[in-house]
């Protein structure tokens, strides 16, 4: 009898919290409440994510970065040599700086020989190029940005374009130039 009295009391309390129409305290549907809670959580997380202002440690500085472009042919190398200035990112048309150094070497590939050994061979008509670029930008505690707002991250793939060639490369290093 005690157990049934306890269960009956709980059932009565639950009826006061959740009515027959599924409304919480007779005011709001429990599903609507869950949706509102999810929206509030998403809004707060977006605010926290986008409100993390990075502290700028230096602005209007010369930033130098190295991009490795792999497996390009001689005409592409020549096209980079033809115009060292005004390198842009083609999708955004943002300036990526000027090339201040270009180093090239033969591309290499690892192959498996007939007897199952690995061997590194030079590719006939392909080159790996290290492009060193210099651009005006800002430095924050954690990142580097061009003045046009392009974030420079080591390991990031970038697209470089001048009026003669477009190539993809990987950022190998980024630093502020001290002169």
Q: Are residues 154 and 130 in the same domain?
A: yes
Tokens representing 106 are 């033969």
Give the integer Cα–Cα distance in Å for 152 and 133.
11
**151-152 and 56-73: which strand pairing?**
unpaired
Final residue of a structural domain among 10, 33, 50: 50
Question: What is the count of structural domains for the chain?
Answer: 2
Element (H, E) at 12: helix 2-17
Q: Are residues 82 and 144 in the same domain?
A: yes
Give the integer Cα–Cα distance in Å for 58 and 80.
30
Q: Per-residue pLDDT tens for 103-150? A: 999 999 999 999 999 999 998 899 999 999 999 998 888 889 888 888
Q: Backbone phi, then psi, for 3, in 5-degree steps?
A: -65, -40
Q: Per-residue pLDDT tens for 5-47? A: 555 555 665 556 666 776 766 677 777 778 889 988 888 877 6
Q: Are residues 150 and 79 in the same domain?
A: yes
Q: Which domain holds residue 82?
A: 57-176
Q: What is the pTM of this model?
A: 0.64
Q: Are residues 46 and 61 in the same domain?
A: no
Q: Are residues 10 and 40 in the same domain?
A: yes
């Amino acid at each position: 009898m005690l157990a049934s009295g306890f269960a009956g009391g709980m059932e009565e309390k639950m009826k006061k919290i959740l009515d027959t129409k599924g409304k919480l305290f007779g005011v709001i549907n429990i599903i609507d409440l869950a949706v509102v809670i999810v929206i509030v959580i998403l809004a707060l997380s977006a605010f926290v994510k986008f409100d993390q202002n990075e502290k700028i440690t230096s602005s209007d500085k010369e930033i130098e970065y190295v991009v490795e472009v792999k497996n390009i042919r001689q005409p592409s190398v020549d096209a980079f040599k033809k115009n060292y200035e005004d390198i842009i990112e083609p999708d955004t048309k943002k300036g990526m700086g000027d090339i201040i150094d270009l180093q090239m070497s033969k591309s290499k590939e690892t192959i498996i020989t007939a007897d199952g050994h690995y061997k590194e061979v030079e590719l006939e008509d392909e080159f790996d190029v290290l492009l060193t670029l210099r651009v005006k930008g800002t430095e924050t505690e954690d990142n580097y940005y061009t003045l046009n707002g392009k974030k420079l991250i080591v390991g990031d793939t970038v697209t470089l374009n001048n009026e003669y060639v477009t190539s993809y490369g990987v950022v190998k290093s980024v630093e502020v130039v001290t002169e």
